[in-house]
Amino acid sequence: MLFIQNDFKTIQFAVYFTDLDEDETRVYRFLLPRLLTTHTNQLLNKTVMNEKLEDLYGAYFKSRVERIGNYSVVSIILTIVDPKIVEDDQLLDQALSLFNQVLFDHTSFNKELFLEEKRMVIEQWETLYDKKRLYAQTKFYEHFFEGDAYGKPLSGSLKDIKKLTVEELEKYYHDVFLKNTKKFVANGRISETDEKKIESIVSHDMHLIHPFTTTFRPSRSVLVIEEETQMKQAILKLGYHFPVFRLDKLYHAAVLLDTILGGYPESRLFKEIRENQGLCYDVSSSYDYYKGVIMISSGVDLKQKDHALEAIKQLVLDMIDQGINEEELEHAKAYYAHQIKNSLDNQSFLTKRAFIRELLNQDDTFEERLEAINKVTINDLKEALEKITLDTVYVLHGGQND
């Protein structure tokens, strides 16, 4: 159990269930947190569960499943108001009891609720095409990460969801999920007595059987996919192979490179593609340090999509060819340092950070991290730039009549 003491006006209880990310279990891990937070042995349906949360001053659960390297992490977080502010000395005990029930108190699942959650996921699939940006992102991932776990939806495939039974899910929950490695984090103003109380009901276990890995396939000749639909814009997605990972020595240089390329309003993409050429409203890059890739995304003027695509490609080539300058590096460092300090004032970020640091065995202080960023040189960026290779281009665009 990890405690973070601070002065926030809310308290968070979080658990992270960690296991290998595998094709066969993805659908279970997607549906489980949704189902666990809808009912328990004592709170038999959603209505009763929501009444309970409302009675706890609008306490709420947030659950999600995500990939971190080769792991699948299911997180369930309960946020409550600080009992001292509302002067309710029962609140903490009631919240802890509810958190405990949601995680462990399920002899079997309510079949109706299981079917309901299943229907919701299926309907999400059925409307994916309506949400053009989400659709473009999903298709781009399918192509860029073809043959890799990242290319497969976190929810499992539509086929997986359709054939899933409540009995299979119950079996996975009891036989596998509850035996996952688990990390608990409590974040907020918590007394020592309450700390002991919390520790007595949750068993923290961070022993991972499988080593943490970050890999991706080698780069390939550029794959270009264009798809036409009914829409007013064209969405461009460019995937770059960039083998620099979270624990590599070039990691900070890679983050700075991404910032300079498309991470903030002073980035090259923002200045050139949006401000100078007026081709779009949004253009940005994002660096996935667990997968070693940089992805560029932009919604551009339909009539100028080919020009915009070439302009983005050329901008990256120029950056690789000519490098970056000292001023750009200094601005990016200032921005990156600001982002780090700013995140330390965010309770949810601190909760997750505690988990990630233990998962990756990190013990550097934030001051050490800022120092490491300060030490990044132009040469480090040059070295990082040499690793960028264009790999996949995906374009979703409207037709001539749109």
Partner 1 sequence: MIKKTFERFNETVYELKLKNGMKVHILPKDDPYFTTYVEVSVPFGALDLKYQTEVDIKETPFGTAHFLEHKIFAMPEGDAFLEFSKLGVDANAMTSYNQTSYLFVATQNVIPALDHLFKMMDTPYFTTENVDQEKNIIAEELKMYLDDPNVVMQNKMMEMMYHVHPLKYDIGGTLESIMDVTPEVLSDVYQRFYHPSNRLVTIAGKVDLKALKSFFSIYDQTFPNKDKKPKTILPKEPKRLVEKYVVETKDVGIDKLMIGIKLMPSKKSNRDQIKKEMAISMLLNILLGPSSKIYAELLEKKLVNQSFYINTTFEKQAENILLFAESKKVHKLKKILIDLMTVDALNLMTEEAFDRYKKVYLGQFIFALNNLETKAYLYGKYYHMGSSLFDVVDILKEIKYEDLTLELTNIQKKYISVLIHKKA
We find the least distance from the C-beta atom of residue 171 to partner 1, in angstroms, to be 26
We find the least distance from the C-beta atom of residue 159 to partner 1, in angstroms, to be 17
Options 56-64, 177-185, 243-251, 316-324: segment touching partner 1 (CB under 8 A): 56-64
- Binding letters toward partner 1, positions 123-142, x by CB under 8 A: xx-xxxxxxxx---------
280 touching partner 1, by CB under 8 A: yes
226 touching partner 1, by CB under 8 A: no
Are the C-beta atoms of 149 and 21 separated by less than 8 Å? yes
Question: Of the two residues 202 and 256, which places its CB atom closer to partner 1 in the complex?
Answer: 256
Using CA atoms, how far apart are residues 43 and 72, in angstroms rounded to an integer?
A: 28
Among 23, 55, 167, 386, binds partner 1 (CB under 8 A): 55
Using CA atoms, how far apart are residues 39 and 107, in angstroms rounded to an integer?
A: 11
CA angle, corner 283, sides to 278 and 284, nearest 5?
A: 150
Give residues 57-86 in contact with partner 1 (rule: CB under 8 A): 57-59, 79, 81-82, 85-86
Q: State both tokens at 237.
A: 């997605």
Instruction: Report the sign of the C-alpha dihedral through residues 354, 360, 364, 368, in that order.
Output: negative
Give residues 87-116 in contact with partner 1 (rule: CB under 8 A): 112, 116
Q: State both tokens at 250.
A: 């070039």
We find the least distance from the C-beta atom of residue 398 to partner 1, in angstroms, to be 8
Are the C-beta atoms of 233 and 399 separated by less than 8 Å? no
Are the C-beta atoms of 246 and 312 separated by less than 8 Å? no
Are the C-beta atoms of 245 and 214 separated by less than 8 Å? yes
Taking only Cα atoms into account, the Rg of the chain, rounded to an integer number of angstroms, comes to 23
Options 153-161, 164-172, 174-182, 260-268: segment touching partner 1 (CB under 8 A): 260-268
We find the least distance from the C-beta atom of residue 355 to partner 1, in angstroms, to be 20
Residue with tokens 């660096």: 287
Options 5-13, 102-110, 175-183, 242-250: segment touching partner 1 (CB under 8 A): 5-13
We find the least distance from the C-beta atom of residue 337 to partner 1, in angstroms, to be 6
Among 228, 345, 364, 386, binds partner 1 (CB under 8 A): 345
228 touching partner 1, by CB under 8 A: no
Nearest to 15 by CA among 36, 42, 31: 36
Among 1, 10, 195, 323, binds partner 1 (CB under 8 A): 10
264 touching partner 1, by CB under 8 A: yes
In angstroms, the Cα distances linking 102 to 25, 61, 179, 366 are 20, 10, 16, 34
Residues 6 or more apart whose CB falls under 8 angstroms from that of 154 comprise: 26, 30, 65, 66, 67
232 touching partner 1, by CB under 8 A: yes
Q: Give the long-range contacts of residues 88-94, CB within 8 A, separation 24 or more.
A: 88/57, 91/56, 91/57, 92/11, 92/194, 92/197, 93/197, 94/56
Report CA 251 to chain centroid distance, whole Å: 18
Question: Of the two residues 13 and 242, which places its CB atom closer to partner 1 in the complex?
Answer: 13
Among 119, 179, 249, 307, binds partner 1 (CB under 8 A): 119
We find the least distance from the C-beta atom of residue 4 to partner 1, in angstroms, to be 12
9 touching partner 1, by CB under 8 A: yes
Q: What number of chain residues touch partner 1 (CB under 8 A)?
A: 64
Residues that bind partner 1 (CB under 8 A): 7-10, 45-47, 50-51, 54-59, 79, 81-82, 85-86, 112, 116, 119-120, 123-124, 126-133, 230-233, 264-266, 271, 274-275, 278-282, 299-302, 331, 334-335, 337-339, 341-342, 344-345, 347
